[in-house]
Amino acid sequence: MESHRQIEQAAAAWLVRRDREEWNNSDQAELHAWLSASTAHRVAFIRLQTAWEQVGRLKGRAAGLARNGALLSGDRAGTLLPAKPEAPISRHKNLDAGVLAKNARRHRIRVPRMLGASVAAVCLAAAVVVGWNAWPHQGTSYRTAIGGIAAISMKDGSTVTLNTNSGIRVALNEIERRVDLERGEAFFEVAKDPDRPFVVRVGDQRVIAVGTKFSIRREPNHVRVIVTEGRVRVEHSEPHEPAEAALISAGGVAVAGAAGVLVQDKSLSDAEEGLSWRQGIVVFRETLLSDAVAEFNRYNTRQIYIEDPALGAMRIGGHFRTHNAEGFVRLLADALPIRVEDNESRIVLHHL
Amino acid sequence: MPESLDAWFSREILLYEDSLVRYLTRTWHHRDDIHDLRQETYVRVYEAAARERPSAPKSFLFATARNLMSDRLRRSRVVSIEARADLDSLNVHIDEISPEHQAIAHEDLRTLLRALDQLPPRCRQVVWMRRIEDLSQKEVATRLGIGETAVEKQIAKAMRRFADALFGERGLEWIKERAAPKKQLKR
């Protein structure tokens, strides 16, 4: 029986192994098997991974110091700063074994300890690489109201079209074009820029593109991505298994949730039906009435309410104007056994 | 969109590790068992949360730990003169004073820096190059003139230390403090 210490060692070994360049799909499968073998494995793995990810935050601190050379605020004992360890003498430089031995004794790796030091400031070596983890929480926000639609032009030439009741935050810099889809749905026409990936963050997921056209819709339990041109990659932002990423090309409709990504391959025209909202139209195909009504309610402040669940289970099809809820309801009453109660605050559908 | 179970777990449960370890240590008198008890508690919490996310994670965590210790006591056949656990404290709900989420975040960096500082020199160097300078494991190996396996060993060691520091530092220090004069039961 494995002890928890042994499990912890194994988890650490897996984490470092995953960092190797040669990590491939069969390694991935092995890791998945090990994680699935026991919850104790998974829990140990999460614990170590979480801590290791936190260590990455030190990057930001180091970068901040290197940039302006100023002091970071420290504690009473002095300044708690990571000091860059001195580079060791490379063992390969000197072929003379005798000299090598002498050097090894004299030039042991010395890494100064900072804790408790009363030194006021330490300068980090200029060679410290700036960490891009220290992402400033900024960018421009855009929101649409219920029933609204807006097109936003970005500085890189990309366009984002926001659907009803949606919100995004946009931030561009030298290495990345970043958008956070905070709410609702948006269509992206991404200008080609191979040096700067276009990354959309939606909750737990990330959608990454180079030069494509795609839409993302944010739902309570999942994210829906439709690609109409080019290719996007959809991945979980904190994957405990790297193979969770999915590559979707034109015609693909993907649903990404906590469990993974499910991709449907459709014809381009079928996929584009999911984008008809840009023309103010919504398309239903054998859609449950309850779903169709929920969809309409996204676009209108006066909501439609189905009183009888049996009614909601009926299926409908057709093209409808998103802003014409009354028209939609009248068509329904013609085709189905429905009595419409038209109130000031909402529309109620009763079963006849 | 509900976050993944793993993200919830690391955010809502690991947060309380030091309080949990203190509780376990005070209640269960075998120091050697604490690490196992902690991990077993995590396993139970994780599995339960997979079925239904508990609305009060901290209470759930402590209740799970309490039940685990009760179960172990019940299963244990040996009734020794020195009680294996403080039975009374099992029945009392201990409301640990645990730091706010915000306070933890601030403490994190200092804890990490301190942990980094306390690593053995070679280990610290490897962590620095890998995590702060963002070099690949291969590059670290090349620059230091050591094998990749050696680099991996250092990182694996560092990972465990950082986890202990970040989640359980206060708890572990507390254990060390208490350990000194106590009589240890032989198994």
Looking at residue B152, what is its pLDDT? 92
Query: Residue A239's pLDDT is what?
Result: 58
- Count chain A–chain B contacts defined by CB atoms under 8 A: 175
Q: Which domains does chain B have, with CATH numbers?
A: 1-98 (1.10.1740), 99-187 (1.10.10.10)
Q: Which residues in chain A (224-263) have CB-CB distances under 8 A to chain B?
A: 236, 238, 240, 257-258
Q: Is residue A303 part of a domain?
A: yes
CA-based nearest residue in chain A for residue B132: A59
Instruction: Tell me the three state secondary structure of residue B37.
Output: helix
Distance from CA of A332 to the nearest CA of B (A): 32
CB contacts of B124 in chain A (<8 Å) are 85, 111
Q: Looking at the structure, do residues A288 and A186 belong to the same domain, yes or no?
A: no
Chain B residues whose CB is inside 8 A of the A124 CB are none
Distance from CA of B176 to the nearest CA of A (A): 18
Residues A307 and A240 in one domain: no
Question: Is the domain of A235 the same as that of A304?
Answer: no
For residue A293, give every residue at least 6 positions away whose Cβ sits within 8 Å of its Cβ, in sequence order, or none. Answer: A304, A305, A306, A312, A349
Distance from CA of B78 to the nearest CA of A (A): 21
The residue-averaged pLDDT of B81-91 equals 49
Whether residue A323 sits in one domain with residue A229? no
List the end-to-end C-alpha distance of chain A, in Å, as a whole number: 65
* ipTM, interface predicted TM-score of the complex: 0.71
A152 in a structural domain = yes
Which residues 41-60 of A have a C-beta within 8 angstroms of B?
Answer: 42-44, 46-52, 54-59
Give chain A's count of helices (H) and strands (E): 9, 19
Cα–Cα distance measured from residue A183 to residue A143, given in angstroms and rounded to the nearest whole number: 9
Is A168 found in the same domain as A247? yes
Phi/psi at A178 (nearest 5 deg)? -120, 135
What is the per-residue pLDDT for B135?
84
A253, A272, A291 - which closes a domain? A272
Number of structural domains, chain A?
3
User: Which of B74, B80, B63 is closest to B29 using CA atoms?
Assistant: B80
Report pLDDT for B182: 40
Contact at CB, B5 and A258, closer than 8 angstroms: yes
C-alpha A154/C-alpha A180 separation (Å) is 14
Domain boundary at A229, A244, A272, which? A272
Regarding whether A294 and A260 lie in a shared domain, the answer is no
A-chain CB neighbours of B13 within 8 Å are none
Query: A220 and A320: one domain?
Result: no
Long-range contacts of B80-85 (CB under 8 A, 24+ apart): B80/B185, B82/B29, B82/B183, B82/B185, B83/B29, B84/B28, B84/B29, B84/B30, B84/B185, B85/B27, B85/B28, B85/B29
DSSP 8-state symbol, A15: H
CA distance B101 to B116: 22
Asked if A44 and B39 come within 8 Å (Cβ–Cβ), the reply is: yes
* A62 falls within a domain: no
Q: Which of these three, A228, A255, A272, is where a domain ends?
A: A272
> Chain B residues with CB inside 8 Å of A84's CB?
128
- Cα angle, residue A219 at apex, residues A216 and A224 outer, rounded to 5°: 35
Q: Which of these ranges, A56-65, A238-247, B76-85, B95-104, has the smallest mean pLDDT? A: B95-104
Contact A127/A109 with Cβ under 8 angstroms? Answer: no
Q: Are strands A346-351 and A303-306 parallel, antiparallel or unpaired?
A: parallel
A184: alpha, beta or left? (left if phi > 0; alpha if psi -120 to 50)? left
Torsion of Cα atoms, A53 then A56 then A58 then A64, to 10°: -140
C-alpha distance from residue A130 to each of A63, A135, A187, B135 (Å): 5, 11, 33, 12
A43–B167 C-beta distance less than 8 A: no
Asked if residue A51 is part of any domain, the answer here is yes
Residue A321 inside a domain? The answer is: yes
B40 interaction partners in chain A (CB closer than 8 Å): 4, 40
State whether A315 and A245 are in the same domain.
Answer: no
Q: What domain range includes position A210?
A: 141-272
CB A110 within 8 A of CB B121: yes
Has residue A106 been placed in a domain? no
| H/E stretch holding B141 | helix B137-144
The verdict on A230 and A316 lying in the same domain is no
Which amino acid does the sequence have at A223?
V
A58 to B124: CB separation less than 8 angstroms, yes or no? no
Q: Identify the sign of the CA torsion A63, A91, B140, B127.
A: negative
A126, part of any domain = no
Question: HEC string of A241-265?
Answer: CHHHCEEEECCEEEEEECCEEEEEE
**Mutation site for B-interface testing, chosen from A50, A72, A207, A244 by largest number of B Cβ within 10 Å:** A50
Per-residue pLDDT reduced to its tens digit, A176-209: 889 999 999 999 999 988 778 899 999 888 999 8
Nearest CA in chain A to B137: A20
- Residue A168 shares a structural domain with residue A241: yes
Q: How many CB atoms lie within 10 A of CB A89?
A: 16
Residue A265 near residue A251, CB atoms below 8 Å: yes
**CB-based contact B75:A68 (threshold 8 Å):** no
A91/B5 touch (CB, cutoff 8 Å), yes or no: no
Q: Show residues of chain B in contact with A202, CB under 8 Å.
A: 1
User: Is the domain of A209 the same as that of A251?
Assistant: yes
**Cα B16 to Cα A47: distance, rounded to the nearest angstrom:** 12
Looking from the CA of A206 toward its CB, the CA atoms found within 13 Å total 15
Instruction: Mark yes or no for CB contact B1/A222 under 8 Å.
Output: yes
Flag whether A135 is in a domain: no
A340: domain CATH number is 3.55.50.30
Q: Give the model's confidence band at B102: pLDDT under 50 very low, under 70 low, under 90 confident, else very high.
A: very low
A221 chain-B contacts, CB cut-off 8 A: 1-2
Residue-wise pLDDT for A317-347, tens only, equals 999 999 888 889 988 888 888 899 988 889 9
Lowest mean pLDDT among A253-262, B9-18, B26-35, B176-185: B176-185
Chain B residues in contact with A47 by the CB 8 A cut-off are: 10, 14, 42, 163, 167
Q: Are B166 and A54 in contact (CB under 8 A)?
A: yes
Looking at the structure, tell me whether residues A264 and A335 fall in a common domain: no
- Rounded (5°) CA angle A116-B127-A242: 140
Residue contact A46–B118, C-beta within 8 A: no
CATH code, A155 = 2.60.120.1440
Residue of B nearest to A83 (CA): B117
- Is the pTM higher than 0.80? The answer reads no
Residue A7 with chain B: CB contacts under 8 Å: 39
